[in-house]
Each structure stands twice: as structure tokens, then as C-alpha cells.
Chains A and B, each alone.
Chain A
Amino acid sequence: MNKWFFAPMLLLGLSGCSNLSSNDQQLLGEAQASFNRIKNDADILRAAPKDVVRASESLARAERLTSYWGSAEDVQHYAYLSLRYGEIAQQQSLTLLNQERQAQLELERQRLQLTLREAKLLSVQQQTAWLAEQMAMLQGVEGERGLVMTLGDVLFEVGEADLLPAANRTLLQVAHFLQLNPRRKVRIEGYTDNTGSADFNLELSRARAQSVADFLQDLGIAAERVEVVGHGIDFPVAENASARGRAQNRRVEIVFSDEQGRLSAER
């Protein structure tokens, strides 16, 4: 066998690319561009890892086939499959994001329903009486930081930032108070006991304060009127040595501004 016989064939085989019509080239280019887009999209990778892998494999196959003579149809086929896998992955990712958003909104809806039920239960007189009492109470603890209201540990899930339904009534009244006093602002400050790492506690205290702020915002209090800060294990109000003292230290404080909207300085 003379190996020179094969040389022209080999050349033909290697010149593959030039066998592709501009149409095929375009489809392959689209598939490449599409894959470059999805491979860097974390949501798509999370939602449809298998389809991303298949898109990649099909594309690699299409690219490999460009170097073989007479394979234009195959190139086009695998480019098409790669594009489709990419589109499927993209759609799955959008669906997943929607589902996650839905789960969040579902929680919000439940919370609003509870709050609404609570609000309906309270008669007008009750509200008026409560407000008078609150005002008296608030003035009672007016110190150098202004009016401060303390929400106890029992209003939160243990070790979590989520508010329990028991917090609804109090926070509804705080929201009501802020609606009646539109110039007042609040700063919501989270605190914890000293169990666990300082970082964890700082994050937990901030997240709890944020939960309270979210609640007020859900009830229509403008975000600009609500500041949020986490102090973690700092500024305990009782000894951390006893369980009772620790429970007292786990709290969220709502600091009210004066009637002109001036808040005391942050700690």
C-alpha cells in the first residue's frame, strides 16, 4: 500500500470547515454563543446541571465533526441539539427562580393573613386604649436613647430570625403608632446572649431586627423610616451567667425618634 494514496483523502478530511455552508456555521456559532452564556449562569447550573452537560457534550461533538469531510448535516444536528438543551436548561432555571420566589411570597401572604385577622379582632376602643398605654409606657422608658420598646426573645423562633405569630399584635400596634405619627422614625436593634460565636450572634441579631423591619414595611411603613442594626452579644441588659439573664439579653429593641424624626445616636 502506498501511503501517498491517502494524502489527498486526508487533506479532504481535514479541510472540513470549508465544507460547512454559512448556514451551518451560523447555527454552530449560535450554539457556541448560547453555551458560553449558560455555562456561567449559576442559576441555570443549579436548576438543570444535566442539561448543561448535555448541551456541552453535543456542542463538543458538533465542533469535532467540523473537521470531517461530509459531516455538515451532523454538525448542524448536534449544534441544534446543543441549542435545545441550553434553552431547556434556561427555562428550567426560570421556573426554579419563580418557585423560590413563590415560596417567599407564600410566607408573606400567610403573615399578612394572620395580621389581618389580628387587626380585625381588635376593636377601635382596644386600639385607642392600647395606644394611650403605649405612649405612657414609652414615655416611662424614655432615657438618653429616646423612647425604647423591647421585644422579648419569646417572639422569635428559637435560634432563628423568623417572627412568631405572637409578635403580630405588638408589631401591628407599632405600625399603627407610626402611621399616626408620620414624622417619627424607628431604629430596630437586635441583641443576643453570649452563647455561640460572636459572628453568628451578630448575624442573628441583625436578621431578627431585619425581620421586624420587614414586618413593618409589609404593613406600609416606608423603608426610609426604619433603620436596622445588629449588636450581637454587645450591650447585655442582664448577666449572661443565668438562663434567665440570657433570655433577657436575647431581644430586639425598637428605638423611636422624637416627634421631629430625630433619632438618638447609634450605639
Chain B
Amino acid sequence: MIKPSLCAALALILAGCASDPAPSEQLRLTEQTLTQVRALNISAEQSSGLKLAEEKFAAAQTAMTQGKHREARMLAEQAELDARLAEAEQMHHASQEQLHVLQGNIQQLRKQLGALQ
């Protein structure tokens, strides 16, 4: 009774690279994410992450035209997350700045109050 499962396992192992479907949906998703992140006006510190994402996406597109579907999918998946991380870092950076401005305001107000008393 072991045989069928062995065959299946073997088939899985051998199937590997040959039958990967074209990852068009993933490429579309990655491109959409990239468009969204580019629009964010990313600051210099976070731009390296975005650059990495752009490079991987370009490589994914090349791999796609060469029919290397598996490689294209992996690159596109990674590019999507690289872009999303750049976006999340940018949001964090922006929230940090807003916090600093607010803290400055409060300090200013305290100073003014202190001067009045």
C-alpha cells in the first residue's frame, strides 16, 4: 500500500520547474503595489527598499518573457513584499515625524505657560 503514495511523492519532486503556470496575476499585483508605493513620496532612508523592489520586478518581467515562470513568480513575490516593507517603513517614519512636531508644540506651550506665571 505504500506504492501509490511513493509515486505521488516522486511525481511531485520531478514535476518541479517544468509545469509552473505563468504568474501573470502576481506580476499585476506587484506592479499595483509598486505604483502605490511610488506615489508615497518615499524619503531617502526608505528608498533603498523601493529600489530593490523595482530591480526585482524588472528581473521578474524579463524572466517572464523568457518563459522562466518559476523564477518570475519568486522575484515578483519578493518584490511585492520589498515594496510593502518600504511602504510600512515610510508610514512609520512619517508617524515619527508627526509625533516630534506635536512634542515640540507641547513644549512650546509649556514654556509660554511658565512665562505667564
Of A81, A94, A175, the residue contacting B81 (CB under 8 A) is A81
Q: Which residues of B contact A88 (CB under 8 A)?
A: 81, 84-85, 88
Minimum CB–CB distance for B75 against chain A, Å: 9
Residues of B within 8 A of A81 (CB): 77-78, 81
Contact of A112 among B2, B74, B110 (CB under 8 A): B110
Contacts of B113 in A (CB 8 A): 112, 115-116, 119, 219-220
Counting from the closest, the 5 A-B pairs by CB-CB distance are: A91-B88, A98-B95, A84-B81, A112-B109, A95-B92
Residues of B within 8 A of A106 (CB): 102
Is A91 within 8 A of B81, CB to CB? no
**Pairwise interchain contact A102-B99, C-beta atoms closer than 8 A:** yes
| Separation of A218 and B110 alpha carbons in the complex (Å) | 8
Which B residues are CB-close (under 8 A) to A220?
Answer: 110, 113-114
- Docked-complex contact B77 and A108, CB < 8 angstroms: no
How many chain B residues touch A (CB < 8 A): the figure is 34
Docked pose: A13 CA to B82 CA in angstroms: 32
Looking at the complex, which of A3-11, A29-37, A199-207, A248-256 is the stretch in contact with chain B?
A: A3-11
Residue in B13, B77, B81 whose CB lies within 8 Å of A69? B13
Q: Do A91 and B92 contact each other (CB < 8 Å), given the known contacts A77-B78, A105-B99, A105-B106?
A: yes
A215-B84 Cα distance, complex, nearest whole Å: 41
CA distance A3 to B1 in the complex (A): 10
Contact status B13-A87, CB under 8 Å: no
Name the distance in Å between A194's Cβ and chain B's nearest Cβ. 38
Q: Which residues of B contact A68 (CB under 8 A)?
A: 12-13
Min C-beta distance of A31 to chain B, whole Å: 13
- Any A CB within 8 A of the CB of B43: no
- A3, A91, A175: the one within 8 Å of B89 (CB): A91
Q: Are A120 and B116 in contact (CB under 8 A)?
A: yes
Given contacts A88-B81, A92-B92, A116-B109, 15 further A-B contacts (CB under 8 A): A3-B6, A6-B10, A77-B77, A84-B78, A88-B85, A92-B91, A95-B92, A102-B95, A102-B102, A105-B99, A109-B105, A112-B106, A116-B116, A119-B113, A175-B117
Residues of B within 8 A of A10 (CB): 6, 9
- Which chain B positions have C-beta within 8 A of A105? 99, 102-103, 106
B112 at the interface (CB under 8 A from A): yes
Query: B16 is contacted by which of A70, A84, A92 (Cβ under 8 Å)?
Result: A70
1/0 per residue B1-43: CB within 8 Å of A? 0110010011011001000000000000000000000000000
In the assembled complex, the CB of B60 is this many whole angstroms from the nearest CB of chain A, namely: 13
Judged by a CB distance under 8 angstroms, whether A179 is at the interface is yes
The smallest beta-carbon distance between A28 and chain B, in angstroms, is 16
Q: Which residues of A contact B96 (CB under 8 A)?
A: 98
Q: Mark A90-111, 1 if CB is under 8 A from B, else 0.
A: 0110110011011001101100
In the complex, how many angstroms separate the beta carbon of B35 from the nearest chain A beta carbon?
A: 18
Distance in angstroms from B55 CB to nearest chain A CB is: 15
**Interface assignment of A191: CB less than 8 Å from any CB of chain B:** no
A150 part of interface (Cβ distance < 8 Å)? no
CB contacts (< 8 Å) of B48 on chain A: these are none
